[in-house]
Chains A and B, each alone.
Chain A
Amino acid sequence: MSLETLYQEILLDHYKRPRNKGVLPHASVHGGGVNPFCGDRIDLYLRLEEDRVVDVRFQGEGCAISQASASMLTEAIHGKTVEEIRAFAARVEKMLKGEEGDELDGLGDVQALQGVRKFPVRIKCALLAWKVLQDALGEYLRNPA
């Protein structure tokens, strides 16, 4: 278990140069969450047009894994429909929990998160942004604005 498995270059790049960081006023979907164990915090903002993400931002603080994961998330879901995002997030969650084999096609940069599987205490860090996303979309679908 080398450190480089966990902190892959792409991941460190997202941590040092987070993509889409900031607040989105008038977001169609907004959600936030924390990991009480370590204090990691993520807020997500999505703007939808005709069910498709046309803009996305995240705010947060915490470890490299949690913040890089959120940054990757914003790139991964840009341009996707809500249904596509939910399917994608479910796949990522399975990958992080080690429930899926090696079928990581189409996950892009997000693949770099798979190293956490060898570091059980860090899985929660990687999962946080994706859980916030799933919860926020679930809420959005139940109560569309």
Chain B
Amino acid sequence: MASDAPVLAGRSRHVVADPLDVERIRQDFPIFLKRTGKKRLIYLDNAATTQKPKSVIDAVRRFYCEHNANVHRGAYWLSEEATRLYEGAREVVRSFLNAPTSSTIVFTRNATESINLVAYAWALNHLKPGHQIVLTEMEHHSNLVPWQMVARRTGARLEYVRITDQGKIDLDQLSELLRRPTGLVAVTHASNVLGTINPVAEVARLARAWGARILVDAAQSAPHIPVDVLDLDPDFLAFSGHKMLGPMGIGVLYAKRERLEEAEPFLFGGDMILSVDWHESTWNELPWKFEAGTPNVAGAVGLAEAIRYLQRLGTGRIFSHERQLVRYAFERLSEVEGLRIFGPGPEERLGVISFEVHGIHPHDLATFLDARGIAIRAGHHCAQPLMKRLGVVATARISFYLYNQPDEIDALVDALQEARRFFLG
């Protein structure tokens, strides 16, 4: 955990005296430097993936240049070194999540794979007809489609917790739903569309009181706010490295030891076994039971460096910076006629803002902004049921990270005004 994490304990309304030096931070990101001379890149799609600092790129490169060998195998020093780096990365993740032991940290490809692991290895063997799987209306497809599969195969039923018109989950309805036998509550920590930060500790407490297991999708939250598994106390928690400065292709599943012990392996093969006979095998210890085949060692090393980078700057300072950007964006976007923001106010969300401009389709908007060097997302954001709930087919979305600046919001607002003249004039 970052040393300043307690600053965030009260969530949102805090002020950190020591703001980020964003100009200097931007120097760490080659993608922003390469563009000097050419058109400036205004990157506002951080909820999709983030840019990578040089230290992360170097860590991956250094692994391949200096330490590359397969892990857990060779009786030679290079393999031992690779193993030490890989398991060292696991320890960095453990400490980042404040998990009691690194044996409950499983490396995967991404949050989607982590959730699929839970679906296949645990849920298929533990959910039964008559069980409910409780989701919310704001889930990303990655925390929705796997549960449709589990429901179909086990006979469990999917139930959705409504979201209010302010884009928050209805905890009263959740309490109602939990009166019926519930196998699992799977909920996102923060919405990739609305930016809403959900009270997952409260959701977990409710779920546990009724004997239900809880999975937290932390893909959007882990990059921006403390994710402390002792505090939130989920049974399962998933996130991706690439949304928090890390490389693509590395993700994490945290789970309680008992859950991992009662789960079957997900993938079968090398490294996940203790011994193999002609017809039977015994499984390796946690967490390797869930890591069949050669893992993404360089990815894990890169993710560990990303976490160190974030911790050096301080989670609280990063969050505070993003909160200021959100406030400023709300202020400036309100100047654009016909612009409507979805979801809660600036004090209750991450740096994610979905909006529409009346009369301009989000895709036209995205193309128009792209011509001015501004990268935003347009579409359904892998949350089609939520789009239905909001009554739209698509939205435009901006999302911030530590390297974004207020003048990028100014450029965005100028471009939105131009877009209105262009399409509606």
Contacts and interface: CB of A to CB of B under 8 A. Distances in A.
Interface stretch (A46-54, A56-64, A79-87, A99-107): A56-64
B364 interface: yes
Interface residues of B, number: 16
Q: Which of the listed residues B363, B379, B422, B423 has the most CB atoms from chain A within 10 Å of its own CB?
A: B363
Instruction: Sort chain A's interface into a size bin.
Output: 20 to 34
A2 B370 CA distance: 11
A38 B424 CA distance: 21
Contacts of B393: 38-39, 41, 61-62
A6 B366 CA distance: 13
Given A3-B371, A122-B363, A125-B363, A64 B423 contact: yes
B376 to A, nearest CB: 13
B367 to A, nearest CB: 7
Interface in B356-386: 361-364, 367-368, 371, 378-380
B363 A63 contact: yes
In terms of DSSP, what is the predominant structure of the interface of chain B?
Answer: helix
Contact of B379 (A2, A6, A37, A61): A37
A33 to B, nearest CB: 14
B56 interface: no
B337 to A, nearest CB: 17
In terms of DSSP, what is the predominant structure of the interface of chain A?
Answer: mixed
Contacts of A16: 424
Q: Which of the listed residues B362, B367, B394, B423 has the most CB atoms from chain A within 10 Å of its own CB?
A: B367
Q: Which of the listed residues A6, A39, A62 has the most CB atoms from chain B within 10 Å of its own CB?
A: A39
A3 B422 contact: yes
Given A7-B422, A12-B423, A61-B393, A38 B367 contact: no
A38 B394 CA distance: 7
Q: Closest 3 interchain pairs by CB?
A: A39-B393, A63-B361, A63-B363
Given A39-B380, A61-B393, A64-B423, 9 more contacts: A3-B368, A3-B371, A12-B423, A38-B378, A38-B393, A38-B394, A39-B393, A119-B367, A125-B363
13 contacts: A3-B371, A7-B422, A15-B423, A37-B379, A38-B379, A38-B380, A39-B393, A39-B394, A62-B393, A63-B361, A63-B364, A65-B363, A122-B363
